Amino acid sequence: MVDTVALVRRWDRVARWWAPLALLAAIRVAIPLAVYADEGHKLPGVPRWVNVGIEGDANGFYAAGREFMAAWARMPHAVAALAFLGAIAGALVLVRTWVARPALRAWLVPAGLFGFGLLVSLGVHWMKPSGAAVFGWPLLWSLGMAPYRVVFGLDRSSGWGIGFVLSLMVVAATVPAVAYLGRNATGKRLAGLLAAVAWTFWPLLVGAIVGHGAWANHQWDVDTGIHLYDEPLSTLLVTTGAALALAPSRRPMCLALSGCAFSLATCVKISDALLAGAVLVVVLLREGVHRTLPYAAGALSFAPVVLVYWPLSYPKLFDNRKSWPSDPFDASYVVSSWTHSSIFTPRTVLILLPLALVGLAAIRGPWAFALIASLLLINPAFYSFYANTAEHPRFLYASLPELFVLWGAAIGLLLDPLSTRRASRGPRTAS
pLDDT tens digits, one per residue of 123-176: 999 999 998 999 999 999 999 999 999 999 999 999 999 999 999 999 999 999
Q: Is the pLDDT of residue 427 over 80?
A: no
10 located within any domain: no
Residues above pLDDT 70, as percent of the chain: 95
- C-alpha torsion sign, points 129, 131, 132, 133: positive
User: Three-state SS across 403-417?
Assistant: HHHHHHHHHHHHHHH
Q: Measure the CA angle with vertex 417, ends 412 and 419; round to 5°.
A: 80
385 in Cβ contact with 330 (< 8 Å) = yes
Q: For 329, list phi and psi in degrees, rounded to 5.
A: -125, 130
Average pLDDT over residues 109-124: 97
64 within some domain: yes
Flag whether 187 is in a domain: yes
pLDDT at residue number 10: 75
Residues in the chain: 431
- With pLDDT > 90 as the criterion, what percentage of the chain qualifies? 81
Using CA atoms in the order 390, 392, 396, 397, what is the torsion angle rounded to 10 degrees?
Answer: 140
pTM of the model: 0.93
pLDDT (0 to 100) of residue 324: 74
- Candidates 321, 386, 380; CA nearest to 353 is 380
The answer, yes or no, to whether residue 216 has pLDDT greater than 80, is yes
Of the candidates 55, 175, 74, 53, the one whose C-alpha atom is nearest the C-alpha of residue 122 is 74
Q: Quote the CA–CA distance of 187 and 189 in Å, as a whole number.
A: 7
pLDDT score at 321: 63
Question: Is residue 333 included in any domain, yes or no?
Answer: yes
pLDDT for position 1: 46
Closest to 357 measured CA to CA, from 279, 409, 418, 282: 409
Burial class (CB in 10 A: 0-12, 13-18, 19+), 143: middle
Mind giving me the DSSP string for 107-147?
A: HHHHHHHHHHHHHHHHHHHT----S-S--HHHHHHHHHHHH
| pLDDT given for residue 42 in this prediction | 83
- pLDDT at position 13, please? 78
298 vs 13 pLDDT, higher one: 298
Structure confidence at residue 423 (pLDDT): 42
In a domain, residue 260? The reply is: yes
Rounded to 10 degrees, the C-alpha dihedral 116/122/125/128 comes to -70
Kindly indicate the confidence band of residue 417, based on its pLDDT and cuts at 50, 70 and 90. low
Contact 183, 175 (CB under 8 A): no
Q: Calculate mean pLDDT across residues 76-104.
A: 95
Q: For the chain, report the end-to-end CA distance as a whole number of angstroms.
A: 42
- What is the pLDDT, as a whole number, of residue 430? 39
- Domain holding 344, by residue range, is 19-38+55-415
When pLDDT is cut at 50, 70 and 90, the band that residue 22 belongs to is very high
Give, as one character, the DSSP assignment of residue 329.
B
d(CA 381, CA 395) in angstroms, rounded, equals: 11
- Residue range 306-362, pLDDT digits in tens: 999 999 998 887 776 666 777 889 999 999 999 999 999 999 999 999 999 999 989
Instruction: Return the amino acid letter for 215.
Output: W
Judge whether 168 and 181 are in contact, CB under 8 Å: no
Q: Which residue would you say has higher pLDDT here, 373 or 12?
A: 373
What pLDDT does 14 receive? 81
327 versus 273: which is more confidently predicted?
273
Residue 323, φ and ψ in degrees, nearest 5: -105, -25
Residue 405 has a CB neighbour count (10 Å cut-off) of: 37
31 within domain boundaries: yes
Q: What is the DSSP string of 176-229?
A: HHHHHHHHHHHS-HHHHHHHHHHHHHHHHHHHHHH-GGGGGGGHHHHHHTTT--
> Mean pLDDT score of the chain, rounded to an integer?
91
pLDDT band at 41 (very low <50, low <70, confident <90, very high): confident
Does residue 177 carry a pLDDT above 90? yes
**Mean per-residue pLDDT, 400-420:** 85
Q: Quick one: DSSP state of residue 212?
A: G
Q: Is the pLDDT of residue 81 over 80?
A: yes
Domain assignment present for residue 3? The answer is no
Question: Does a structural domain hold residue 83?
Answer: yes
**Stronger pLDDT, 262 or 364, i.e. the higher one:** 262
- The model's confidence at residue 431, banded by pLDDT at 50, 70 and 90, is very low
Position 40 scores a pLDDT of 83
pLDDT recorded at residue 428: 44
**How many domains are there within the chain?**
1
